[in-house]
Structure 1
Amino acid sequence: MEHLPVEVIGNILSRLRAARDVVIASATCKKWREAWRNHLHTLSFNSNDWPVYHDLSARKLEILITQTIFQTTGLQCLSIFMDDVDEFSAAPVIAWLMYTRETLRQLHYNVKTTPNVNIIEKCGRHKLEVLALANNSITGVEPSYQRFPCLKSLSLSHVSISALELSLLLTACSKLETLALINPDIAMSDAQATMELNSLSLKDIYIEAISMDKFILEADSLENLHLKDCTLEFFELVSKGALRVLKIDDVSVIHLDIGENTENLEVVDVSSFTIMWPKFYHMISKASRLRRLRLWGVVFDDEDEVVDLETISVCFPRLSQLSLSYDLRDGVLHCGLQGSSHLENVVLLEVGWTIINDLFSEWVAGLLERCPNLKKLVIYGVVSEAKSHEECQILASFTSSIVRLMRKYIHVEVEFEYE
């Protein structure tokens, strides 16, 4: 170890990340202390890493973090996550940011301060590439002054910001590729009923726990769109057809529009979502490159609507992974087996139920017949803890049916996942 270059030791210490571990390791010898001072590039203060953090007062934590950071000279990645810790004073937090901002590439920041520290103001116009903020407020965004010329990834979690300033913030990030909005507190002005975001560089957006009337996203280069736990009356994506991945999870939206240019879609993953199938199918029907289709726990706006395999097999010839949940309501199976076309390229089939009955195994058998090149079958099920005698009999009958069925498909690997 004594022959290791001091730069290599700096990389080793940086991989430890946690400040407590780095400090202990740097005490090994004089050479390691030199690496700590001059070649450490990653440092993390996380209240979940060391229980003692919770026992210290905010004042002592401020001193500890200040002393640790000020012993370094070239930090590139700084993470400060202090959950369930008393609020810090603004002065030491500003000192940490001012001391490191010339070299910092990544900042992960979850610290409550009094008064609030404007992170955007302190970190703008420098080399920051990744910024993740949580439990903070953002005010007074000035794109002409607070520019982020290198920022590629931005995450805002439980952050308070107005719709206008969020739009201005994106304008200040000319190279932004990844954006995550997680349960933000977005203030809308009385004259502004619509939130409009515009980015020429954005490729990936994750939106969780947002509730509003109208959301318009204009992103010509967007490749990945993921909506989760959102309540929206109107959502529109305006792009030039670069979208490859569409995920919708537990979303309530009256009008959804992802545009007509869906030729590049490769993944469509929809779960716990009420859809008008004809309209939704029309949006994705041009996706001849689709490789994965997941329709899980969807509720159809019209009780007579049916998703049929014939339509899927004809329109999505490259499909290799198909995930369907069994939904029988009022005697209508919403994912039927109409037609005779085969899904030649499907190698992974996932099926599941929320309420099982005797017809489920027949439905699975019909799906297997349509997938001649299948390699793996995964069966998901919900089993209640207090099972009635009838439920036990149905589950036992289903298991026996699957065992008999798989003797016919011995080349297919079968996996069960029960909740």
Structure 2
Amino acid sequence: MVMNKAPETDAMYDVAIAGGGYVGLSLALALKTGDAGLKVVVVDPKPMNVLDKDPRASAIAAAACRMLDSLGIWEQIRDGAQPINEMIVTDSKLRDVVRPVFLTFGAERKEGDESEPFAHMVPNGLMLPALYEKAQALGVDFEAPDTAASFATSGSGVRITLASGKALSAKLLVAADGVRSRLRDLAGIRTVHWDYGQSGIVTTVSHERPHNGRAEEHFLPAGPFAILPLPGNRSSLVWTERTEDAKRLVASDDFTFEIELERRFGHHLGKIELGGPRNAYPLGLTLARDFVRPRFALAGDAAHGIHPIAGQGLNMGFKDVAALAEVLVEAHRLGQDVGAMDVLERYQRWRRFDAFQMGVVTDVLNRLFSNDNDVLRAARDFGLGLVDRMPFLKSRFISEAAGLAGPAPRLLSGQSI
């Protein structure tokens, strides 16, 4: 690769992270919070001073909220977040006048004397700057805007060449550069991938009546239509359509878009109006066959891109962060090499099976619900109704949604590493 200028003298780090989104920033913060002696750098193609311009919002499960609290930023963003106090699930055809509710999740998940919502909707414009500012305050270095263009590993480390011509050296390179990760390809890690022929339309609406913290998931023949509550009389939408229809809708004028939106949204919250830009993102399943290579690890969407039907994509990335940070911090405390393969294998054993399992679950759910087959509809509606009538099963579903089922890294339990 031809560079514009000769590489400068390498800067030396323990961990270099390619990607300054949620996963990259929270990993940098978790590492420095766990062990201030770790030298960490984040490389990202966008400047860090535009993070507050992101108009979208994300569903953050209870376990991830506990992690953000442990990292010292939850207090800063909590007042701007919207608790999800209830969730309903319907299954109908688009032309149906009535959408019967088959499954309802109660307001709170209780443990002993404590109670907490199983998720919050957090505006990206709040969370990303909070992560960046805290990481910067703890001594994380940033190379932005810049891109990790290539890298070469050796027995003692990895040398990363940036698009600007600068070079960095680290014991470990973590690729948190998204589902189309170029670094994953450069590392020779193959993926399991298929396209669903669907796209997710993401936008924000305002409405006359309050949502009272209720989220709604409407299963329609083209795919799920999710209404997620935001602060005030506003909601975030994740609207799944066949890709050709999604492109047509996004390109249409506001009047046409709002007519189609109203058919799916309904009138229970009164008059609705568009409250932000609309964008469509192609949906597919991408699972990395390996999460690690010598001196190299994947995290977030670079390791697993799944369908948003269960709302677990970002929360899986936070699980990666909690597991990888715990493994690396403990290794560093013991004087071990954080980029050594035996250290990285601990992370892979912790996260790869869970990611594959969630990928299979979301794939099956999408295929089961994104169709207009009356026999399948009858079977799945019976199953939803059965879960709704069985407290044990419902509690299990809520725990899974909250990210609190099974053994978890310490950060996801609200503990420090």
- Give the TM-score taking structure 2 as reference length: 0.21
- The answer to which structure has the higher helix fraction is 2
Q: Which has the larger radius of gyration?
A: 1
TM-score, normalised by the number of residues in structure 1: 0.21
Q: Which has the higher contact order (CA 8 A, sep 6+)?
A: 2
